[in-house]
Amino acid sequence: MGLTITEKILKDHCDDKKASAGDFILARIDKCLANDITAPIAISVFDKIMEGTKKAVFDAKKIILTPDHFTPNKDVASAEQCKILRKFAQEYKIVNYFEIGRVGIEHCLIPEQGLVLPGEVFIGADSHTCTYGALGAFSTGVGSTDLGVSMALGQCWLKIPETIKIVYSGKLNKWVSGKDLILYTIAQIGVDGAIYKAIEFTGKVIENLSMANRFTMCNMAIEAGAKNGIIVPDKITKEYLQNIRHFNYKTYENDKDADYFDEIEFNCSFIEPQVAFPHSPDNAKPISEVDAIKIEIDQAVIGSCTNGRLEDLITAAKILKNQKIKSNVRCIIIPGTQKIYLDALKMGLIEIFIDAGAVVSTPTCGPCLGGHLGVLASNEVCVSTTNRNFVGRMGHKDSKIYLSNPAIAAISAIKGYITSPTYSLTK
């Protein structure tokens, strides 16, 4: 029986050349990542492992540290967390340490910097590390303890996951994006529908999907319980990487007789823009149902590692141009990286946002996890392009979060209730 792309990558990164789905392996990693929340714990583990030895990281070029969650430092505690990263980076000469002013939201920044490539094994002490599967890498989140071990040894203990193949056929309707496809998928299979499985996104729709939308889909694979999301590299992948710089990398494909745990097909011609109701990403409903309810909002957030790329900001700007955000709504827009921020500025998007009444923040994870720059009070309602809407995720436990794509978030900020341009602009 043949192997999937996920199996092939992991087999080539271990000593067991017969390894396949279900086998436990000690995988050699190409890169590892931690942020201002997870790195301090990993560093503590690293120090314990290396105690009594001549301390050294496995490779100073392959460790990536991104202080992006509670930054710019919101309080003394967050400042102390970041200080630990800074000190560690200086002591061990970590090449890819991104200080404030150069850092971005990690899962937007790392692909932009060319720090992850097809065929690599990339682990991160952040659950949404699965984002990089969009480039054809095996990329997954791990705990800080595993990350600390990896920083010392350059290896990680993993079980090779079985693969669920999802085929997206048909054509995308207007305003339907990668965010809608992944919300629809999670709603169909459930938040536990792919536990410790690889989700492979395939089909004609995926073949024509932009890298920004591919990143969005792989980013939220974890919300279905998946170990990783992955897309086989193609010409869109190659063009994306060429626009960064020249790279040497190895790509993998599925064997024609690859063995899948399950195969599912969705006809995208019948998929509308989606909105995930509180308090789970799998509680998604089509916008035609949502629009009729008129759910009033207090806040709209456009950004995050899920939807903070330039393409997302362009979409929001198309909606917000020459419009005004409703007076009782707060609209917070967060470019994913400094480069995205600068590109948006040059394109005039920032002026559009400010003229509309939005606030534009420096790149940060801030409001997504209820950290800062958009924390919700009791009973407040937010429509957000982020990836999770759990109880208390963005602030008070009695607040409510609705997940959507950037177009819905933007038009909802104008109207004051959750809706879609398809419906609102005709009313």
pLDDT value of residue 422: 77
Tell me the domain boundaries of the chain. 10-265, 275-424
How far is Cα 112 from Cα 135, in angstroms, rounded to an integer? 12
Is residue 424 predicted with pLDDT exceeding 60? Answer: no
- pLDDT, tens digit, for every residue of 351-366? 999 999 999 999 999 9
How far is Cα 376 from Cα 392, in angstroms, rounded to an integer? 9
How far is Cα 18 from Cα 56, in angstroms, rounded to an integer? 32
The confidence band for 426, taking pLDDT boundaries of 50, 70 and 90, is very low
Encoded tokens for 160:
């090779």
Rounded mean pLDDT, 60-68: 98
Place of tokens 């590892």: 32
The confidence band for 8, taking pLDDT boundaries of 50, 70 and 90, is very high
Given this chain, do its domains 10-265 and 275-424 carry the same CATH topology? yes
Single pTM value for the model: 0.96
Place of tokens 């937010």: 382
Rounded mean pLDDT, 343-349: 98
Fold of 10-265: Aconitase; domain 3 (3.30.499)
pLDDT value of residue 54: 82
pLDDT value of residue 423: 59
Encoded tokens for 269:
């011609």
Residues 80, 82, 86, 87: is their CA dihedral positive or negative?
positive
Closest CA to 141 of 219, 232, 58: 219
Domain 275-424 classified CATH 3.30.390.50? no
- pLDDT, tens digit, for every residue of 251-286? 999 999 999 999 999 999 999 999 999 999 999 999
Is residue 190 predicted with pLDDT exceeding 60? Answer: yes
- pLDDT, tens digit, for every residue of 208-246? 999 999 999 999 999 999 999 999 999 999 999 999 998
Written as one letter, the residue type at 71 is T
Q: What value does the mean pLDDT of the chain take?
A: 96
Q: Cβ atoms within 10 A of the Cβ of 288, count?
A: 12
Place of tokens 């963005």: 394
Closest CA to 224 of 317, 149, 130: 130
Q: Between the CA atoms of 390, 395, 397 and 402, what dihedral angle is there, to the nearest 10 degrees?
A: -40
Q: At what angle do helices 310-320 and 349-356 cross, to 10 degrees?
A: 50
Encoded tokens for 45:
């583990």
Closest CA to 228 of 330, 156, 304: 156
- pLDDT, tens digit, for every residue of 398-413? 999 999 999 999 999 9
Written as one letter, the residue type at 223 is E
Closest CA to 183 of 61, 261, 103, 276: 276
Is residue 425 predicted with pLDDT exceeding 60? Answer: no
Q: Between the CA atoms of 214, 132, 34 and 160, what dihedral angle is there, to the nearest 10 degrees?
A: 130
